[in-house]
Amino acid sequence: MEGKELRGHSPQDELYGPIKIPPYCWPIIDTYEYQRIRHIFQLGTCHYVFPGATHTRFEHCLGVAHLASVFMEHIKNTQPELGVTEEHCQSVIIAGLCHDLGHGPWSHKFEYIAKEYDPSWDHEDMSCQILKHIYDKYKLPIKKEVIEAACNFILGLEYPGYPIWLSRIIANKENDIDLDKFDYLARDINRTLSIARFQYDRLIFHCRVVDNQLAWRQSEMNTIERLFYNRNDMHKRVYQHRVNQGISCMIADMLEAADSYINIETVISDIEEYVKLDDRIMTHILEGDYGEEAQRIALDIEERRLYKCIGELRMKPENLAGLTYSQLPVSTIENDIAEFSDNLPPSKLRVVKITYRFGLKENKHPLLSIPFWKPGNEHAYFLTEDDISCIVPVHFMETAMRVYVTDPASIDEARKAFNKWKESKKLQ
């Protein structure tokens, strides 16, 4: 990368129009490792259900970098007393640009599979590893502390010597309001559902740093509430759509069948090999490069021979046979259901657990965790339940499970077994 002239231009984005990507970002973008995310769908398998959901991690990451640039410029202009430096801006913008570099094929689905081999593995940490790899490999003309700070901000962690509030712009672990969410919700809604979406630009321009934390003007309470409603709606109608989850189960089975060729356990700890993985692996599987069983499942997906959902159970997190529902392994539930059938092996069942959360806390309105400010007030403050509309959910978390069957010939038998199991547990 040495000797290469830094460039800057404004790519056209479907949400924001021309976006300004700072010149120091392009040496990162113009690398093999970064260009890989052009080939990873943002929504995994959702395009099989929502044909427009073909946007990628690449455009999302550029979008978050753009919002980060707009946000930092806003803070610098409106609160010069904070002393925001160029290094502060660079670290936040690079964190937005690179926060999803670590995603594997089919995005979050691959992460669930990787955790079966290494429970501590996550795509955020891999994003940091890949960013550091790019920095070292291409000798980027950026200060090392900027890269280190960016990695911390990807993880939602503070960086020594930098203001705390900088760590909450890209990944906000305090109240879940961050630029990553602003972009992915707006972009995903635009590609899937025709629903009114929250106004991310208002949330940016009505944000201030108060008491060393990000606070929003109270007049934007309804805008923030719309954000959480949008997210809940997207989980119910898109991300955890019944057919989409069935296809995700097939992807998991397909990757398991192809693992003797992929070797996931080794790949997730080897950056050079990991960056070769993206959604284009599907083409190789379809061509038979990764074994007959993986090819069969891939063809079933393409030709719409999908796993059938034979039952869904919505429930509060109550006890199930003496254990909390969320504690039961899916294999245990599959075995239990199969016991209510004479000829149905558990291997033909796939149980999927679902959680819908309105906010970060299980049974707390998310607005109660958000700092607000008012003109003339020196300090941030938090809302009380009396400040919130009475038209709110009774519960802020739902849990559910779906049961899929892999063999069309076993659909009726599986459905009967599921109903008998449900009756035996006195579940509705």
pLDDT tens digit string along 94-110?
999 999 999 999 999 99
Domain count, the chain: 2
Q: Tell me: do 36 and 177 sit in the same domain.
A: yes
Mean pLDDT of 78-106: 98
**Tens digits of residue pLDDT in 197-231:** 788 999 999 999 999 999 999 999 999 989 998 99
Note the pLDDT of residue 5. 54
Q: Is the pLDDT of residue 10 over 50?
A: yes
150 located within any domain: yes
Q: Tell me: do 235 and 311 sit in the same domain.
A: no
300 located within any domain: no
Q: Is the pLDDT of residue 21 over 70?
A: yes
Q: Is the pLDDT of residue 51 over 80?
A: yes
Note the pLDDT of residue 304. 97
Domain's final residue, options 203, 218, 242: 242
Percent of the chain at pLDDT > 90 equals: 80
CATH number at residue 417: 3.30.70.2760
Q: Is the pLDDT of residue 363 over 70?
A: no
Q: Tell me: do 327 and 220 sit in the same domain.
A: no
220 located within any domain: yes
Note the pLDDT of residue 34. 99
Q: Tell me: do 208 and 117 sit in the same domain.
A: yes
Q: Tell me: do 188 and 312 sit in the same domain.
A: no
Distance CA 122, CA 108 (A): 9
Q: Beta 372-373 vs 213-217: how paired, if at all?
A: parallel
Q: Tell me: do 131 and 234 sit in the same domain.
A: yes
Distance CA 250, CA 77 (A): 50
**Dihedral angle computed from the Cα positions of residues 256, 262, 263 and 268, in that order, rounded to the nearest 10 degrees:** -100
- Which of the pair, 398 or 372, is modelled with greater confidence? 372
Beta strands in 185-324 (DSSP E): 207-210, 213-217, 308-315, 319-320, 323-324
Q: Tell me: do 188 and 104 sit in the same domain.
A: yes
Mean pLDDT of 273-280: 97
Which residues, in sequence order, are CB contacts of 258 under 8 Å at separation 6+? 285, 290, 291, 294
- What domain range includes position 349? 307-358+393-427
Contact 178, 120 (CB under 8 A): no
| Average pLDDT of every residue of the chain | 92
Note the pLDDT of residue 3. 46
**Tens digits of residue pLDDT in 119-143:** 999 999 999 999 999 999 999 999 9
Q: Tell me: do 202 and 334 sit in the same domain.
A: no
Q: Which residue in 60, 103, 123, 206 is the catalytic one? A: 123
Phi, psi torsion values for 16, nearest 5 degrees: -105, -5
Strands of 207-210's sheet in order across: 207-210, 213-217, 372-373
Note the pLDDT of residue 371. 96
2 located within any domain: no
Domain's final residue, options 220, 242, 264: 242
Q: Tell me: do 323 and 230 sit in the same domain.
A: no
- Which of the pair, 377 or 128, is modelled with greater confidence? 128
- The pTM of the full predicted model, rounded to 2 decimals, is 0.93
343 located within any domain: yes
Domain's final residue, options 227, 242, 257: 242
380 located within any domain: no
299 located within any domain: no
Which of the four pLDDT bands, split at 50, 70 and 90, describes residue 319? very low
Q: Tell me: do 235 and 88 sit in the same domain.
A: yes
103 is catalytic: no
Distance CA 179, CA 99 (A): 11
Q: Tell me: do 197 and 322 sit in the same domain.
A: no
277 located within any domain: no
Q: Tell me: do 92 and 181 sit in the same domain.
A: yes
CATH number at residue 218: 1.10.3210.10
Distance CA 108, CA 45 (A): 10
